[in-house]
Amino acid sequence: MSTYKDLQVLSDAAYYDRCNYVNYNVDNVLKETDKIKDGIYHAKAGNIDVPLFKVLLTNQCNNDCAYCTNCMNHKYQRARLSPEALARIYMKYYENGTVEGLFLSSGIIKDADTTMEEMIEAISLLRNKYSYKGYVHLKIIPGASKDHIKYAMQLADRVSINIEAATKDGLSDLSSTKNYDKDILKRLDWIDNLHRRNHNLASSGHTTQIIVGANEETDEDILKQVYHLTQKYDVLYNYFSNFKPLEGTPLENHEAGDPRRTGRLYQAEYLFTKYNYNKDDIILDDNGNLDLTNDPKYTIALQHMEDYPIDINTAKYKELIRVPGIGLKSARRITHLQKENKKITSLKQLQQLGANIKKCKIFVKVGGSYQSTLI
């Protein structure tokens, strides 16, 4: 019974590590779809629900991260699983069809390499003793050696290392025990180089996470780093964790972050990774932050009304995807009709192709006419 009590403590502690985008409804209000119960985290892959066993090996930690319940000075119930216990429990869940993959992280046991050794042992047991062939996402501990990182990447499908802050000064505000350049960015560089040389190492890529609202960093700071990480280190996903003050931590009296802000950051990052926008395209206010009222793509388009409206029946794909309310799928459907010399003659027809008419109607001509003003 004590093992399963430890499991619940450690699965609760794993809540704050992101491994899929948080969902937002049309009003950009956070949906609480990422709760963990009994170690099971329901991640999303498109419209598919993927149950992951999401857990820490231990919540004991030698770091002093001011936002974290696992920080060394926090009076919190501590727990630890042995590599064998974790592997055994996971296989029970997996063989019962309860979970389809593992997300394993950890606090710091003694030092980075000692921690990585125990995490690697747990995954090695799964792969070798239990012949497990399924999905594993393994966190890389800041400061881990290159050999440990390489071995971890041989065993895991995906790895990640959390940078937590967008700048060196931002991290120093949150922790005195992590070196931004040496412990994190250097390790991220190693991960990227190892993956580039051998795509079988962490074949599903690598990710990172930034905490939003725990320090004075602006959206401009965050997006500049996100763009850099994507371009230089080929980071697959940059996850944003909205800061929440936790009782007993040094930042317990710090104001909580606005969940709308992380939503806008995800939208801005998507413009970089999917829509070929440059970081200089993003519109920010005088304080260096995104507009919380409108999505970044809509804000950009409003600042460039001289480029609109465009004719929906003649516009090229790269023009269409810059129109608010027209996504990648709807743009492809529109260009497919163009190639077949089929005309879109109404907003209703455009809506049937997947476009958001409320957003796009002032930016496009349909049948030679367009909505000239915002209503």
- Statement to judge: residues 262 and 341 lie in one domain: no
List, as one string, the DSSP characters of 157-178: SEEE---BSSSHHHHHHH-SS-
pLDDT tens column, 288-330: 999 999 999 999 999 999 999 999 999 999 999 999 999 999 9
Note the pLDDT of residue 210: 96
- Statement to judge: residues 253 and 130 lie in one domain: yes
Does residue 340 lie in a domain region? yes
Does residue 264 lie in a domain region? yes
Note the pLDDT of residue 19: 60
Can you read off the two tokens belonging to residue 16?
């704050």
- Statement to judge: residues 22 and 55 lie in one domain: yes
Pure H helices in the chain: 2-13, 83-95, 112-124, 146-155, 168-174, 186-197, 219-232, 259-274, 296-302, 317-320, 328-339, 347-352, 357-360
Does residue 374 lie in a domain region? no
- Statement to judge: residues 331 and 201 lie in one domain: no
Cα distance between residue 256 and residue 164, in whole Å: 16
Is pLDDT above 80 for 39? no
Does residue 286 lie in a domain region? no
Question: Which domain-ending residue is among 247, 281, 315?
Answer: 281
Does residue 19 lie in a domain region? yes
Percentage of the chain lying above the pLDDT 90 cut: 76
pLDDT tens column, 125-145: 999 999 999 999 999 999 999
Are 213 and 256 in contact, with CB atoms under 8 Å apart? Answer: yes
Note the pLDDT of residue 49: 77
- Statement to judge: residues 41 and 158 lie in one domain: yes
- Statement to judge: residues 257 and 330 lie in one domain: no
Does residue 296 lie in a domain region? no
- Statement to judge: residues 276 and 312 lie in one domain: no
- Statement to judge: residues 233 and 341 lie in one domain: no
Number of structural domains in the chain: 2
Does residue 293 lie in a domain region? no
- Statement to judge: residues 343 and 220 lie in one domain: no
Question: Distance of CA 200 to CAs 137, 152, 153, 180, Å?
Answer: 14, 12, 8, 28
Cα distance between residue 149 and residue 282, in whole Å: 35
pLDDT, the chain, mean: 89
Task: Assign residue 102 the CATH number of its domain.
Answer: 3.20.20.70
- Statement to judge: residues 192 and 272 lie in one domain: yes
Q: Which domain holds residue 114?
A: 2-281
- Statement to judge: residues 343 and 277 lie in one domain: no
